[in-house]
Structure 1
Amino acid sequence: MCHSGSTTTAGSRTRSRAPSPPLDKKGYFTYTKKEPVGVVAVITPWNSPLLLLAWKIAPALAAGCTVVIKPSEFTSASTVELVRLFHEAGLPPGVVNVVTGFGKDVGATLVEHPLVRKITFTGSDATGRHINQAAARDFKHVSLELGGKSPNIVFADADLEAAVNGAVSGIFAATGQTCIAGSRLLVQESVHDELVGRVVELARTARMGDPMDEGTQVGPITTPAQYAKVLGYVDIAQREGAELALGGKPAARPECGSGWFVEPTIFTGVRNRMRIAQEEVFGPVLAVIPFTDEDEAVALANDSRYGLGAGVWTSDIGRAFRMADHIRSGTVWVNTYRAVSYLAPFGGFKDSGIGRENGIAAVTAYLEDKSVWINTGAPTGNPFVLR
């Protein structure tokens, strides 16, 4: 286990003494300082393993913490190689560490270890809930970036070509295996048929195949269990009465071979209380839901236990601000989708998690505030009276 205190110099500026706060008491000098929370357990998922790892370890190191990384058992090789490069670059031993294994063994041990003072996790809300409960027993800090069922909302006054591109990118990029996937496409009734037709036609052109080929647009599902889950949700949607507009089956294209490929799938006639509209599929499956006006769009968007991302497509700037105000989501994109930056906070409302990654909030999440009081002449007074 790495040291519980800081062994890095990266956090020196973030931990510098702040100006003395104004006081309502005479005879005291007070200042505040920030200190690293301590050892951080970093638990990452199998999708985007290096990007999500960087989002966690960069602010942790900047704050002066040491980290122990537990990557997904499906994608540990890239993490092990990155940590090797850290050591090769001269980072002191014990600052960045990696342990591999299954969550129920290695992950649980990290979460429960007494020297770990913060856990940062990206993954399912079920696992995040378990981690949060376990961490609470020792009052550990937690940052949880969990699931989503993000609404991508298209109004009739939108640039429909841009909205079509955004809808396709929102769900089929990375084969839908992202927490921010725009898996619910909410379309205003007056443009519903036109927009859906254009989305279907564009999705139909998606190039599938080898994910190492730069020309591939939709790759395979990552694991056999996830492959079975995605196809299971296709069956569930059809049993609930959703209408299949595209895909809905394993890909039989020659370029896909015998891999775990699912055709880009679009369902119409979806009601927002259907499981396909409420539960995270984590695959290339889009649920299209019509709406009449702005109020209904907001109601549908918020009618979910998740609140990670949302897209709004409109040419009305007032509407853009109103929707951003009323949607309960950690990120709202207007006339774009999936844009992220290490400078902008990222995280979710409701069951989509706790805390934020990126931005200054990401660094402060790895710091503790300390107040220091120095008596410069205040009388001692009655020892039984709190001053």
Structure 2
Amino acid sequence: MLGEGSPLRRLLHPESGPAKVSSVILFGPPGSGKTTLAQLVALSSGRRFVELSAVAAGVKDVREAIDRAKYELGATGVETVLFVDEVHRFNKAQQDALLPAVENRLVTLVAATTENPAFSIISPLLSRSLLLTLRPLDEAAIRTVVARAAVDPRGLDNSVTISESAFETLIRLAGGDARRSLTYLEAAAGASLSRGSAEIDDETLALAVDRMVVNYDRNGDQHYDVASALIKSVRGSDADAALHYLARMLEAGEDPRFIARRLMISASEDIGLADSNALTVAVAAAQACALIGMPEARIILGHATIYLATAPKSNAAYLAIDGAIADLRAGKGGAIPAGLRDTHGAVRFMESPPEEPYRYPHDYPGGVIAAQYAPDDLREREYYQPTRHGAEARISDALVRIQEILKGERGGS
């Protein structure tokens, strides 16, 4: 984003002429650095910095800021960076008021939003702006932010220390939000000093942020123990227990994408064809989590968890594919029946047509005929053993009829 010729580089080191960037929309989650970037744009280029919050400002405030910017430009030659925070909260009329200043380059507009600009920003403003998407900070970046704040004279200036456990918990609770991490650090430092202690521990941190510090190590046993408990509760059809473990993972700052992946696996492994819609729900939940993110993703995951926990259960599909793989690894599975082989290969190598040519099932009543599809040594092997749970009861009944036809025990050929 800061490479030569990039939008941010051109904002930080403005040029005159058509290449000049006059409007940028920063789209990203809270605490990802939108306000800081806007301030850097102003400071690095010696421009005035004016901030408006769309929560409190109206059209009058916008016009006053633009009029002042126009005056400063004419009187002193100093340009203005107008930063509008939470711009998605502006209605159409308020966003329209920004257009003339953007078009005439009276201000350098930097607008920040946590909502998808395609749905929250009017098209004329969006078409005149560069869109930059900011991602949540990773744990390494949050660690750096917190560590610097603890020792920097502008921060805590070494007035307190923080235990390793509390430090890791704070990073986890921040959830990629730098602002939240600093808020928690400041609150925990205040709570620690008020108790006559110069160290922030887990107890002080929990007291300061007013939430229980969950015993959960994302890289250790707790990570896998709680995830295992979640899936086993879903498998055991206990929706309440599953929700408890889901909540523990979310409150500990677990990546919702990891949870969604586990639920997708469970949908096929533990439910399978007893309710094939379970996989659809789990995949949709994973996609929704990726689009929405936390904290709203908790609702999506809760929805999917309850659906999977209350769905009929079957591991027949899971056992079936593992059975087929086990036979293959044991050396079973001979030549493919001649009638099933690629006919183009037969022509290419001038082979004789098979004694039993392939018969197209759709040409026969019922679409199923007596035929051998498996290799000779697996002819009698039945991997898929459906249960009588949910939709598999119907599948089981149909499979009995299909097997009878395949083996020539009833009409169909």
TM-score, normalising length from structure 1?
A: 0.30
Greater per-residue strand proportion: 1
Greater per-residue helix proportion: 2
Question: Which structure would you say has the larger Rg?
Answer: 2
Query: Which protein, 1 or 2, shows the higher relative CO under an 8 Å CA cutoff with sep ≥ 6?
Result: 1
TM-score, normalising length from structure 2?
A: 0.28
